Amino acid sequence: MSNFAVQATTGNARRALLRTTHGPIETPAFMPVGTAATVKALAPADLREIGTQVVLANAYHLWLRPGVDVISQAGGLHAFMAWDGPILMDSGGFQVFSLESRRRIDPDGVTFASHLDGTTHRFTPESVTAFEEALGVDIAMVLDVCVKLPATDDELRSAVDLTSRWARKAKAAHTRPQTALFGIVQGGLDAELRKRSARAIVALDFDGYAIGGLSVGEPREQMYDTARLSAALLPADKPRYLMGVGTVADIVMAVDCGVDLFDCVYPTRCGRNGRALTRLGELNIRNAEFRFDYTPLDRDCACSVCKAFTRSYISHLSRAGEMLGGRLLSYHNVAVLNALVSEARDAISAARWSQFRDETLARLLPTLHKTRF
């Protein structure tokens, strides 16, 4: 029995059901980021209320703090953070390679200094997979080599080849059937390298495939082009995950490319910085225009923040640096992305995807240039 069933398609866009040990995920799905075993400012009950299906956690951060012992002795990450839904764990490749001068790469892994206390640690494809399995996550990402853009052809090519080598090692190290293992395609913005990477990774037959190395500052059109090209290289009967995306517009475009899963710090980081997502684009809620605005953040939003609180109140909280401000905005912003993917699923089922896509993007158009990552 396959753990992934496509239920409807319109063009490349597809609606599917992904089964995991901790329950099903209807895709397209947005995964809020719970870096340190908490989606910042939100409790598990909040996440459930707004229809979150799956949470992302990060191997790099949890490896360093609180460490594998604290979490495994709790009975795994689900018990530790009191979230009983699916968890996808990022391998930490992106974080480790962001350390730059603080890490040394070799053919078998990467040795790095913790950003917290400078202690030395080593990630290998095997040690990361073992960590992810010890924590009992539903979906584990292989350790990949993530290159900062722009990069030379040589840098990109060697990152692709090392990612493939490590993917093979991670696959061989994978033993826990309750944890699905996803491969990652790299290759920057280079079509030939993306093909080379996809060929090698797909040949290893993972439970799902991620498109990595995008949404790292490249022009939006190039990201879309590469996502579209990469998605088409991945098998239709496996889930596709675009890492680090994103905004409303980026999610819509990626669904249109045939991507199923997304994660980004965007809705919660925006929330802590006083930014609200709405159907008409982002608001900086601290702006003077909202002081006397007694309407909800988004008139069309059904979340409990929009039912109870006004822009005026949230503007006050955010200006005053009150924790409740970041909390209410984070809640609403994740709710907006959850509603977006829910509506996308319905649009795909009802064969009106392209209409939904165009209408959603058209509403955002006047403010799209202002959107930040």
Footprint on this chain of its own copies (rule: CB under 8 A): 36-38, 40-45, 65-66, 69-70, 73-74, 80-82, 272, 291-292, 294, 304, 308-310, 312-313, 315-317, 319-320, 322-324, 326-328
Decide whether 35 or 349 has the Cβ nearer to its own copies.
35
Tokens, residue 300:
């069309």
Q: How far is the CB of 325 from its own copies (least distance, A)?
A: 8
Q: What is the dihedral of CA 65, 71, 76, 80, to 10 degrees?
A: -90
Query: Is residue 367 within 8 Å of 280, Cβ to Cβ?
Result: yes
Residue with tokens 């996803």: 182
Q: Which of 138, 207, 263, 298 is catalytic?
A: 263
CA distance 333 to 267: 5
Q: How far is the CB of 38 from its own copies (least distance, A)?
A: 5
Which of 204, 146, 140, 122 minimizes the C-alpha distance to 171? Answer: 204
Decide whether 65 or 352 has the Cβ nearer to its own copies.
65
Decide whether 49 or 218 has the Cβ nearer to its own copies.
49
CA distance 230 to 13: 14
Pairing state between β 275-278 and 261-264: unpaired
Query: Is residue 211 within 8 Å of 185, Cβ to Cβ?
Result: yes
Tokens, residue 27:
């895709």
Q: How far is the CB of 37 from its own copies (least distance, A)?
A: 7
Decide whether 302 or 365 has the Cβ nearer to its own copies.
302
Q: Is 144 a catalytic residue?
A: no
Q: How far is the CB of 236 from its own copies (least distance, A)?
A: 39
Decide whether 14 or 327 has the Cβ nearer to its own copies.
327
Q: Is 90 a catalytic residue?
A: yes
Decide whether 228 or 319 has the Cβ nearer to its own copies.
319
Q: How far is the CB of 65 from its own copies (least distance, A)?
A: 6
CA distance 281 to 297: 11
Which of 79, 189, 93, 71 minimizes the C-alpha distance to 141? Answer: 93
Q: How far is the CB of 261 from its own copies (least distance, A)?
A: 24
Q: Which of 90, 256, 260, 298 is catalytic?
A: 90
DSSP string for residues in 179-241: SEEEEEE--TT-HHHHHHHHHHHHTT--SEEEE-S-SSS--HHHHHHHHHHHHHTS-TTS-EE
Active site residues: 90, 263
